[in-house]
C-alpha cells in the first residue's frame, strides 16, 4: 500500500497515518507499506519512503504529533498526472492507495481511481477525511475539526478576558479564524459561553451575507450595554453583492480565492465609523495544529478512520471515502461508513440554518449539542470575582 497526506495539516492527521500503518502491519497480504512525501507530488516524482522501517516508538509518538509527518501539498492534477501516478504505483506493485485530505484531495483520489479502473488495474483507492473546516459532505464531522474547535473556543475565552479587563483601552476585539467558506470553526468560539452575556458577543460567518451597517449597529449597542464587544469572524466573508470583505490577493492551485485582512477591515470600520478603539487577533496556523488542545475524541476518531480505510481497501472497496457516523442515542458514539469520492470531491457542507440564531450572529443549542462531544474533555472554567463594592 501507499499513503499520502494532502491539504492543510492538522493536530491529528498523523493519527490517521498511524492507524493505516498499524492496520497494514496486521495484514499478511500487505508486504510493502510506502509513504509518498508531500502527497500526490511525491507519487509523481517518485519520492517514496519505506514506512516499515519506522520504529513502534516513532509511530506511537506520531499519534500526538501535529502537522503532516510525510509532508503535505496543495497540487491540482494535470491531465496526464493520473496516468503517471498509476504507472508509478504499477512499478511499485501497489494495490492500495490511501489519501488523507479534504475536498480537493478527494478529487485527486477520485481521478486516480477512475484512471486505474479504465486501465483495468486492480488498485483500491480510499480517501481518509481530514479538515478543520469540517465542510466535507456525507460525513457527520471531519477529523481535525474537534481539536481546532477546542483551540478556537479556549482562545476566544482567554482573549476575551483581556478585553473585559481593559474595556476603556480597546473596547472592541475582532478575532479572525479559519474555516474557508463554512462557519463550523467560527461557530465553535461559542462553545466556551456560560451565559448569554459571555463573549463572543457576535459571530460572522460565510453562510450569511455581511451587512456593514448592521454590524456597526450591533457593535455599538453591545459596547453601550456591556462596556466592550468581542467579535469572532470567519476568514471568508461575503457581502450581499458577493464581494469578499477582506483583501483578495490571488487563488490557490484549485482556484479558491486567497484572502487576508478580514479582521483588520472590520477594525478599520469600527474605528472610522464608530470612533471606538479596536484591535484584532488572528491565531493563524496555531488553530490547526496546537498540541496542547488536541481533543482525545478527535485523535481517536482520526486513528479509527485510518485503520478502517486500510481494512475497507483489503476487503475490495475502492473509489470511496471513510465517513464518520454519529450513533443515535443520548450518549455520544461514532462509527465509520463509506461515501463515493465523486460525491465528496469539490463539494462543501455549510452550517445548517437551524444551527444559527435568528440574527445569524450566534449559534443555537442544536449547534452546541452537535459540536461539544467532538472537542473532548470539558473546557476550563474561568473564575470571576463577585466584586462587591465597599
The DSSP call for residue 348 is -
Residue 69, classed as helix, strand or coil, is coil
What count of other Cβ atoms lies within 10 Å of the Cβ of residue 54?
16
Alpha carbon distance 308, 289 (integer Å): 23
Among candidate residues 81, 104, 107, 133, the one labeled active-site is 133
What's the first-to-final CA gap in the chain, in angstroms? 72
Query: CA torsion, points 238, 242, 248, 254, in degrees to nearest 10?
Result: 100
Alpha carbon distance 233, 246 (integer Å): 11
- Spatial separation of the C-alpha atoms in residues 320 and 299, rounded to whole Å: 22
Q: Is 38 left (phi over 0), alpha (psi -120 to 50) or beta?
A: left
- Closest to 124 (Cα-Cα) out of 317, 309, 342, 305: 317
Three-state DSSP class for 380? coil
CA distance 9 to 4: 12
Q: Distance (Å, rounded) from C-alpha 301 to C-alpha 374?
A: 10
Show Cβ contacts of residue 61 under 8 Å, excluding neighbours closer than 6 positions.
none
If you write DSSP's letter for every residue of 129-160 in order, what string do you get? E--TT---TTSS--TTHHHHHHHHHHHHHHHH
Query: How far apart, in Å, are the Cα atoms of 355 and each of 199, 211, 367, 370?
Result: 18, 20, 5, 9
Residues 279/169, Cβ–Cβ less than 8 Å: no
Listing from the earlier edge strand, what are the strands of the sheet with 278-281?
202-204, 229-234, 172-177, 278-281
Catalytic, 359? Answer: no
**What one-character DSSP code corresponds to residue 374?**
G
Sign of CA dihedral 231, 235, 241, 243: positive
Would you please indicate which residues are annotated as catalytic (active-site) residues? 133
Amino acid at each position: 500500500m501507499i499513503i499520502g497526506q494532502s491539504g492543510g495539516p492538522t493536530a491529528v492527521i498523523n493519527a490517521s497515518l498511524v492507524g493505516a500503518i498499524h492496520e497494514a502491519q496486521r495484514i499478511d497480504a500487505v508486504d510493502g507499506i510506502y509513504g509518498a512525501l508531500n502527497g500526490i507530488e511525491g507519487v509523481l516524482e517518485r519520492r517514496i519512503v519505506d514506512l516499515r522501517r519506522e520504529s513502534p516508538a516513532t509511530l506511537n509518538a506520531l499519534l500526538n504529533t501535529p502537522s503532516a509527518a510525510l509532508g503535505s501539498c496543495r497540487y491540482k492534477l494535470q491531465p496526464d498526472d493520473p496516468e503517471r501516478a498509476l504507472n508509478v504505483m504499477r512499478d511499485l506493485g501497489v494495490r492500495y492507495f490511501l489519501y488523507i485530505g479534504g475536498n480537493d484531495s478527494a478529487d485527486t483520489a477520485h481521478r486516480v481511481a477512475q484512471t486505474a479502473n479504465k486501465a483495468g488495474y486492480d488498485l483500491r483507492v480510499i480517501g481518509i477525511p481530514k479538515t478543520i473546516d469540517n465542510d466535507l459532505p456525507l460525513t457527520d464531522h471531519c477529523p481535525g475539526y474537534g481539536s481546532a474547535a477546542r483551540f478556537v473556543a479556549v482562545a476566544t475565552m482567554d482573549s476575551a478576558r483581556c478585553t473585559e479587563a481593559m474595556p476603556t483601552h480597546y473596547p472592541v476585539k475582532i478575532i479572525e479564524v479559519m474555516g474557508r467558506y463554512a462557519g463550523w470553526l467560527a461557530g465553535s468560539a461559542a462553545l466556551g459561553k456560560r451565559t448569554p452575556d459571555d463573549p463572543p458577543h457576535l459571530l460572522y460567518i460565510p453562510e450569511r451575507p455581511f451587512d456593514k451597517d448592521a454590524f456597526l449597529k450591533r457593535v455599538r449597542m453591545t459596547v453601550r450595554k456591556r462596556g466592550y464587544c468581542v467579535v469572532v469572524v470567519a476568514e471568508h466573508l461575503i457581502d450581499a453583492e458577493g464581494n469578499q470583505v477582506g483583501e483578495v490577493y490571488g487563488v490557490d492551485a484549485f482556484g479558491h480565492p486567497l484572502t487576508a485582512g478580514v479582521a483588520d477591515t472590520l477594525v478599520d470600520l469600527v474605528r472610522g465609523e464608530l470612533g471606538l478603539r479596536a484591535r484584532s487577533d488572528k491565531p493563524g496556523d496555531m488553530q490547526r495544529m496546537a498540541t496542547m488542545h488536541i481533543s482525545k475524541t478527535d485523535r481517536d476518531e482520526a486513528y479509527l478512520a485510518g485503520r478502517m480505510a486500510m481494512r475497507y481497501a483489503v476487503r475490495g472497496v475502492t473509489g470511496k471515502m471513510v465517513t464518520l457516523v454519529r450513533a443515535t442515542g443520548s450518549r455520544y458514539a461514532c462509527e465509520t461508513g463509506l461515501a463515493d469520492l465523486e460525491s465528496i470531491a469539490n463539494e462543501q457542507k455549510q452550517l445548517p440554518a437551524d444551527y444559527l440564531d435568528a440574527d445569524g450572529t450566534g449559534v443555537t443549542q442544536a449547534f452546541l449539542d452537535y459540536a461539544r462531544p467532538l472537542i473532548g474533555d470539558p473546557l476550563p472554567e474561568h473564575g470571576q470575582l463577585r466584586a462587591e463594592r465597599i
